[in-house]
Amino acid sequence: MKDLEMKKLYYSISEVSKMVDLEQYVLRYWEREFSQLRPQKNRAGNRIYTEKDIEIIRLIKRLTREDRYTISGARQVLEQLTFDNGMPILPDDFAAAPVEIEQIDTLADDLKNVRTTLVKLLDKLRNGSSTV
């Protein structure tokens, strides 16, 4: 039944606490310890978490609870898996990589073909060929 529920843009701390099976005070503590976890606040000052925030929480939970990292160790892992904008690189980000690499390879091949054609045309023009 839970899978059929519509996803929301934002979740409260109590909703996230239930979703990830962690106490609210743990989430607040992790916000202080991990710079990558910075939920926004609404006008009333309540924390509002996005899906990306929840992914970060699940990653921290896995590192600290399952993989038995210390907070410091988990922080180092997250820092190594972070984009320049401060957002962590999560498993979902890796899933799209093969498709993007394939597209880039195709574009690179196309550009090489265009370059080859242009070089041939330039040679013909330089040699005074009347058929271009």
- Residue-wise pLDDT for 31-62, tens only, equals 999 988 999 999 999 999 999 899 999 999 99
Bridge-partner residues for 49, per DSSP?
11
Structure tokens at 91: 């498993």
- Residue-wise pLDDT for 49-102, tens only, equals 999 899 999 999 999 999 999 999 999 888 888 665 556 666 555 555 555 566
SS3 for 114-129 is HHHHHHHHHHHHHCCC
Question: What's the chain's Rg over C-alpha atoms?
Answer: 25
Length of the chain counted residue by residue: 132
pTM, whole model, 2 decimals?
A: 0.61
CA distance 41 to 22: 20
Of 1.10.1060.10, 3.40.50.300, 1.10.1660.10, 1.10.520.10, the CATH number of 2-90 is: 1.10.1660.10
